[in-house]
Structure 1
């Protein structure tokens, strides 16, 4: 008996907690070093999570479709 694609992918939804926790934990990235292309760590760390979150959303969406 086959299971629908979305049924076994419930644990993948937990991946969406990663950006939430990573950006909510402010003491971790509240620093200026290491700088990247002139941007303090505080800024580029947050910008880095934009494409990471997009990829995670895509993975979860495709697993549920």
Structure 2
């Protein structure tokens, strides 16, 4: 699975980090980011839920 975050669209709501904290974090400016080494989704079943929880649709999840 491949995860991408549109940082220009992200408003820093933090729903992704709350839903899948093993994969997502927020940088110093509040923008969502992937934790280092988690670019593949880390196999977490919560990644798709985190993408759905994003209020502005800034997260895209695709099968690799």
> Fold match, TM over 0.5?
no
Structure having the higher strand fraction is: 2
- TM-score, normalized by length of structure 1? 0.28
Structure having the higher helix fraction is: 1
- TM-score, normalized by length of structure 2? 0.28
